[in-house]
Amino acid sequence: MEQTNLDAGPCVSSSMSALESYASYPFATDETYQQGLASLIAGGALEGHLTQEAKDEVLRRTRVFYFNRVTGSALSMDDARNYEYSLRTSNAREKADTSATPVAVQSATSDDETRVLTFAELKELIESGKVDQIPNNKVIPELLNDAPPSQSSAPTRKKPWERALATA
């Protein structure tokens, strides 16, 4: 019976270290995660008649899946949910104005100009005529260049039969 207690100790500490790694993982700055999240949002995963808790659960599921895939951990949804709730309650005690919005959603909405648009988002902007909202979209003028053409400084290439005559 003591062996199971000894065996349970390292499992708890390893799961705690995985939970701490999960909590400190930079989901907001991970470009791959943000691109995947943007494609899920564009696909309508958070639309409909979902409650805030259901949306939080979908976002948590994406974070746990991505974290397990990247780190090779086996973190469960229940462990992550319980850990996030315990963090929220401890943070709510420390701060009176704690936001209930997840970090990934905040960064996705605040960094619209710096993130990469998905194909669906790009298509929607083009179809709605909001091409000015497309990041790094350069306006190409309809005019030809007014500057005079430059003069060629390279000698003209000789044709194969002209080279044959020059060597003969």
pLDDT in tens, the chain (168 residues): 444 333 333 344 455 677 888 888 888 888 888 888 888 888 777 777 777 788 888 888 888 888 888 888 888 888 888 888 887 777 666 665 444 445 544 444 444 446 688 888 888 888 998 888 888 787 777 888 888 888 889 988 989 888 877 776
Residue 140 lies in a domain: no
Report the alpha-carbon distance of residue 38 to residue 50 in Å, rounded. 18
- The whole domain housing 34 covers 10-133
How many domains in the chain? 1
Q: Please indicate, yes or no, if residue 147 is contained in any of the structural domains.
A: no
Residue 122 lies in a domain: yes
Cα dist from 50 to 47, 77, 84, 149, whole Å? 7, 19, 20, 62
Contact 102, 33 (CB under 8 A): no
DSSP code at position 152:
P
| 151 located within any domain | no
pLDDT at site 57: 83
153 in any annotated domain: no
DSSP code of residue 154: S
pLDDT at 78: 83
Indicate whether 89 belongs to any domain: yes
In a domain, 149, yes or no: no
Distance CA 68, CA 75 (A): 6
Instruction: Return left, alpha or beta for 63; rule: phi > 0 is left, psi -120 to 50 is alpha, else beta.
Output: alpha
- The model carries a pTM of 0.45
Task: Confirm whether 21 is domain-assigned.
Answer: yes
CA distance 26 to 20: 12
* Nearest by Cα to 131 from 141, 116, 121: 121
In 10 A of CB 47, how many CB atoms? 10
pLDDT at 79: 82
